[in-house]
Amino acid sequence: MKKERKLFILLSISIYLNCTVLGTSSESPMPIPGKHFVLVHGLCHGAWSRYKVVPLLKSAGHNVTAIDLAASGVDPQQAITLRSVSDYFRPLTELMAALPSHEKVILVGHSLGGLAISQAMERFPEQISAAVFVTALMPGAAGPGPQRLCSRE
């Protein structure tokens, strides 16, 4: 099961790169400019769970940031101290806010990380070139958006 999930992640990223970067003519493809991927783990995981994907993307010339959400991975907080899901997503929010205004990233979220990247998409739309949901939560148009789900009210 884990092997299938990792293959799906690699396949999703490969499809995105092929669709957006490679030329459509019969000539050789355009050179691949380095993209910035932000990998967001799912519940009960951490950045460590992307240890195989990170070097593959880096060896292809991309910048990769695998973050630990609050109380996950090496983050020292305890889950019991988090008051809302927005607190859980805070490391991603802080990363997005710290990016240079001209930089665009590709967000890749898995599981609950899908809700985190959805919230980032609403807050920082100008800094996101694409979002990849890998077996991830994806708020729909019919339901409440991530801002409503993540509010403290």
What average pLDDT does range 128-152 have in this prediction?
73
pLDDT of residue 78: 76
pLDDT of residue 144: 57
Count of beta carbons in the 10 Å neighbourhood of residue 10 = 15
Task: Give burial (CB, 10 Å; 0-12/13-18/19+) of 7.
Answer: exposed
- Average pLDDT value over all residues in the chain: 79
Percent of the chain with pLDDT over 90: 44
- Of residues 1 and 53, the one with the higher pLDDT is 53
| Cα 101 to Cα 87: distance, rounded to the nearest angstrom | 24
Q: Tell me: the pLDDT tens digits for 1-34? A: 566 666 566 656 655 555 554 444 444 444 457 8
- In the chain, % helix, strand, coil (3-state, to 5) comes to 45, 15, 40
Residue 63: is its pLDDT beyond 60?
yes
What average pLDDT does range 57-78 have in this prediction?
86
| Cα 51 to Cα 74: distance, rounded to the nearest angstrom | 14
pLDDT of residue 42: 87
pLDDT tier for residue 146 given thresholds of 50, 70 and 90: low
Residue type, 8: F
pLDDT tier for residue 35 given thresholds of 50, 70 and 90: very high
Count of beta carbons in the 10 Å neighbourhood of residue 71 = 17
Helices (H) and strands (E) in the chain, counts: 5, 4
| Cα 14 to Cα 59: distance, rounded to the nearest angstrom | 14
Q: What is the pTM of this model?
A: 0.72
pLDDT of residue 1: 57
